Chains A and B, each alone.
Chain A
Amino acid sequence: MQNIEMIRMQINYLVTQAHHDIYTLATLSDTSMKPQILQRLWDALSTIQFLSEWLANQAKTSYPILPSQSSYPVPSGNLNQSPIPPITPSPTLPIAQSNQRTFTIGELATFTGKNGRPAYIAVNGIVYDVTNNRAWAAATHFGLIAGKDYTQEFASCHAGQQSILATLPVVGRLV
């Protein structure tokens, strides 16, 4: 249940931030800051709402916990990027128990997200499921298409942001 713990941490963080923002607003002299602080408050509230709905859903549907999510570290920084794991419709999830499945680059290439296939990508030898990842609409991401190894692209665009990978379901290893 590490996921739940992560959400709890995040809500705590957002609430602390909101307390601080309210305090700042109450003592604010420079009114030009007001819209930004209100904006942040609004965003914090929205995120809290999303998180609480997710928790409620979890409780209601006894969502199966993916094996991958226990074996990777919880993101620590970057909390206001709201690293919510994608909520995958469970009946159509193709992955089974194991994250030890192996993929050749040729096998990986068939997971393009098209025609009902899931969308997989590989980074540093690990194959991730991005089918319902929000940054991978239509199984494409800033001009990249699913089914490929993006180790280099990840390193150049998301240096120091390993936490992104931690939010992705792992489906196996690239051999």
Chain B
Amino acid sequence: MEGQILPPESLTNEAIAERLTSTALESLKKRMIKKKPLIYLELNGCSGNIISLLNGQNPDFEYMLNSMVDLKYSNSLMAAEGEQAIDKLINAMDGEYILAVEGAVALKNNGLYNIIGNWDGKPLTGLQAAKMLGERASHILAVGACATHGGVSAAKPNPSQSVGLQRVLPDKNMIKLPGCPVHPDWFLGTLAHLLLYGEPETDNLDRPLMFYSTLIHDRCPRRPFFDRGIFAEKLGDKTCLFKLGCRGPVTRVDCPTRQWNGHVNWPIGDNTPCIGCAQFGFPDAMAPFISYDTTRVVKNE
């Protein structure tokens, strides 16, 4: 890989995440990098980010587990249960660790709307766990829309009073990976960068520039239709979905080139508007997702 200039577009589907990851793995083999402990905390959300993470291809979950991190805690995947599981979580705090959090932090009733387990016979709330683990983590990744800004868990009227992770850890640096869910490459590529080079360069909203630098609109294959004012009037049409409510023009992320699930498709490729799931403010600021009453048929180009 050394010295090779990467064409920025034609290879981006797999390029950034795979390149960083394979370099990280090579370095690991040469013992340049030590596997780091990772605590993966699920809070108030749908656990969709860890499901998306299992969809990782280059690397896949097995690779990540065996070659990149020591996964100390994961509610969805660990074999231990009950207090033994919580013991593992508490014990992991003794050493250095990277903390990844998916889901929002529910504040209502002192966090009792989201209990993640029993610790010493008392309920351990997501709020307690986020603060306690966040304070001691060497690096923090807020994974998915709920963790970065509250997301769907905080949608109006926000019955659980959910907030993003930063709100309960106001002084901690964290890398934010919005998306509903996060793309496995955004998470694993960022993790690889952390292991290889330290924290990646981020924008003023803490998003890694390597994934979140460019508006969907600016790389949308349907952009020529927008520029010529040719708009879809229903889902399934092949033209610009702007009039149906497409949030590509306000969403910065690399979906048009990266695409999803082995890079085979993405929402606009499926003839539906982008709903801005990787933009702060999702879902309320991105609603309505689909409108039919603003469409007009433009007969002449």
Contacts and interface: CB of A to CB of B under 8 A. Distances in A.
Is A in direct contact with B (CB under 8 Å) within the complex? yes
Interface of A: 25, 31-32, 34-36, 38-39, 41-43, 46-47, 50, 53-54, 57, 82, 87-89, 91-92, 113-116, 119, 132, 134-135, 137-143
A91 B300 contact: yes
Given A134-B249, A138-B244, A92 B273 contact: no
Of the listed residues B7, B214, B293, the one surrounded by the most CB atoms of chain A closer than 10 A to its CB is B293
Contacts of A53: 224, 227
- Which of under 10, 10 to 19, 20 to 34, or 35 or more describes the interface residues of B? 35 or more
A134 B293 contact: no
A89 B294 CA distance: 15
A38 B229 CA distance: 30
Contacts, number: 98
Contact of A135 (B224, B249, B284): B249
Question: Chain A's interface: helix, strand, loop or mixed, by majority?
Answer: helix
Given A87-B229, A137-B246, A39 B214 contact: yes
A116 B296 CA distance: 6
B229 A132 contact: yes
A88 B226 contact: no
A139 B224 CA distance: 20
Contacts of B287: 140, 143
Given A34-B6, A35-B210, A47-B218, A137 B247 contact: yes
A113 B294 contact: yes
A138 B260 CA distance: 25
Contacts of B126: none
Of the listed residues A35, A92, A139, the one surrounded by the most CB atoms of chain B closer than 10 A to its CB is A35
Given A38-B5, A38-B6, A115-B293, A138 B227 contact: no
Given A34-B5, A137-B246, A138-B245, A39 B213 contact: yes
